[in-house]
Amino acid sequence: MSGHSEHNTKTLKLIVWRQAGPDKPGRFETYTAKNITDHHSFLEMLDVVNEDLIKEGKEPIVFDHDCREGICGVCSQVVNGVPHGGHERTTVCQLHMRLFKDGDSIYIEPWRARAFPIIKDLMVDRGALDRIIQAGGYTSAHTGGSPDANAIPIPRHDAEYSMDAAECIGCGACVAGCPNGAAMLFTGAKVSQFAALPQGQVEAAERVANMLKEMQDCGFGNCTNHYECEAACPKGINVKFIARLNREYLKSLL
Amino acid sequence: MRFLSSSVGRKVLMAITGFFMLFFVTVHLLGNSSIFIGPGALNTYAEKLHSLGPLVWIFRGFMFLMLAVHVFFGIMLTLENSAANPSKYAIGRKLKATFASETMIWTGVLLLSFLVYHLLQFTVRVTPDIMPDAVANRPGDVYKMVLGSFRITTISLVYVAAMATLFLHLSHGIQSLFQTVGCSNDKTLPKVTMVGKLVSALFLVGYSAIPVLILAGILKN
Ligand code: HEM
Ligand code: FES
């Protein structure tokens, strides 16, 4: 059996955002990605490019990654104008090079939003999302040791709903895709996952008020219901959670 | 008040004021449609309205307040949002945003300009196309006044264009309203969006029918 022949590899033109630091000016640089196969993931493709850059004595492209399994939410690249590249329920680490053709040009940019300052190249500081969680994305009810399963009966529908919201991996694609740099899908999912469960009721009013306030203080924009967030979300978080957030906010005023 | 400084609170104000204006354009269309019954019907309608006296002014004041709040927060939200998203991507590819959703501020500003023109024309009656006798006795022969103005092609075109603008604004605005006040979920949103576009189209057709039928010579003296 022969391995990969020359014919099975692709050569791609990458147009990548390079920026030395938060307050440094950024610019696009063009690179050629050689010897890319269908089996490379997008990040592995960048690894190949970086190895070439290192061999040439150049600075490799800095990008965020950790699990490479689509669960940690750390990878954050806008590929051809769409966060994570725009394939349904796919993080950029799970994006595969079989989706690209030999000779394609690919624009790679960092998340762009005021609340996500660029650290270097494609890596941004998404700490603002953590600050929103710190403002209320938890319950402080004493639960003792591990409770018996089903000690608190929760209707199946509510459990499913909460789990759907909790699928959010906090990657920030919703913010990156939003024309307003808003974080309403993220905040909506985090508020909804608690709002649907009895454990979340006690602090419901404070939670939504505090998380929304933090969201604004972090410099995120306001939602105007474009729904780009939902389309960009690699976990398919639905904008119904934004409606839920709005509802929870109105309830908190009563 | 915390409500006024909250991102969601201000959006809810946009939605509530938008809702009242939506209610107004509905009632206004129903009233205008009396023109299809005949000259007498429109004139009787106009007279009834004017005879309400102070009620008319209370209503006008209320609508002005709705408009002012809507415009104020609309401009503020738009400015804040462009500040929150200062740098654009090299390739701007949109997945779900629509032409209507991305132009809300511009269709809004156009609607505001049209509204000023429309009020100067048929309420204050100071535009050049208005005959002196329409100014002298109010409400007077509203049918004749409307007919006289819409026979001028440019004026009719301006009205149809304004109604196309309203169509765009509301084809995004109606579903947006429901989402903003939280009356929305994954099952209702596609339906509300469809009904919203249908209602917007009804406004476009209903309102535009008046200038178009007058220009076509179907509505006449
Ligand atoms: C006949 C007049 C108008 C009607 C019936 C109307 C109706 C609406 C409705 C129903 C919404 C959706 C509200 C929401 O989701 O929160 C909306 C949003 C908006 N309107 Fe208006 N509007 C009118 C005039 C204006 C004017 C004069 C302006 C600005 C100068 C304006 C600017 C906006 C903006 C910026 C939005 C926010 C976009 C969004 O949230 O999707 N509108 N309007
Ligand atoms: S690297 Fe963990 S989700 Fe992509």
- ipTM summary value: 0.94
Quote the mean pLDDT of chain B.
95
pLDDT of residue A2: 45
Is B110 a pocket residue for ligand 1 (Cβ < 6 Å)? no
Share of chain B above pLDDT 70, in %: 100
Interval A211-239 mean pLDDT: 97
pLDDT in tens, B22-70: 999 999 999 999 999 988 999 999 999 999 989 999 999 999 999 999 9
| Residues composing chain A | 254
Interval A56-64 mean pLDDT: 97
Residues 6+ apart with CB under 8 A from B214: B146, B147, B150, B151, B156, B220
Q: Which of B146, B153, B109 is nearest to B131 (CA)?
A: B146
**Is A228's pLDDT higher than 70?**
yes
- The 3 state secondary structure assigned to chain B is CHHHHCHHHHHHHHHHHHHHHHHHHHHHHHHHHHHHCCHHHHHHHHHHHHHCCHHHHHHHHHHHHHHHHHHHHHHHHHHHHHHHCCCCCCCCCCCCCCHHHHCHHHHHHHHHHHHHHHHHHHHCCCCCCCCHHHHHCCCCCHHHHHHHHHCCHHHHHHHHHHHHHHHHHHHHHHHHHHHHCCCCCCCHHHHHHHHHHHHHHHHHHHHHHHHHHHHCCCCCC
**Is A6's pLDDT higher than 80?**
no
How many angstroms from the chain centroid is the CA of residue A233?
Answer: 7
Is the CB of residue A199 less than 8 Å from the CB of residue A211?
no
Give me the CATH code for the A127-138+155-253 domain, please: 1.10.1060.10
pLDDT in tens, B93-104: 889 999 999 999
**Which positions in chain A touch B10 (Cβ < 8 Å)?**
222
How many other C-beta atoms lie within 10 A of the C-beta of residue B49?
Answer: 14
pLDDT of residue A126: 97
**Which positions in chain A touch B84 (Cβ < 8 Å)?**
113-115, 180-182, 219-222
- A218 and chain B in contact, CB less than 8 A: no
Instruction: Name the minimum distance, in Å, from the CA of B165 to any CA of chain A.
Output: 18
**CATH superfamily ID and name for A2-120:** Beta-grasp domain (3.10.20.30)
| CATH domain B2-215 topology | 3 helical TM bundles of succinate and fumarate reductases (1.20.1300)
Q: Residues with beta carbon inside 6 Å of ligand 2?
A: A 65-68, 70-75, 91, 93
Where are the domains positioned within chain A? 2-120, 127-138+155-253
pLDDT in tens, A139-198: 987 777 887 877 888 999 999 999 999 999 999 999 999 999 999 999 999 999 999 999
- A161 and chain B in contact, CB less than 8 A: no
Q: Which ligand minimizes its atom distance to the CA of A89?
A: 2
Mutate-to-test residue for ligand 2 from A72, A84, A111, highest number of ligand atoms within 8 A of CB = A72
Q: Which of A185, A83, A129 is nearest to B179 (CA)?
A: A185
DSSP state of A105: E
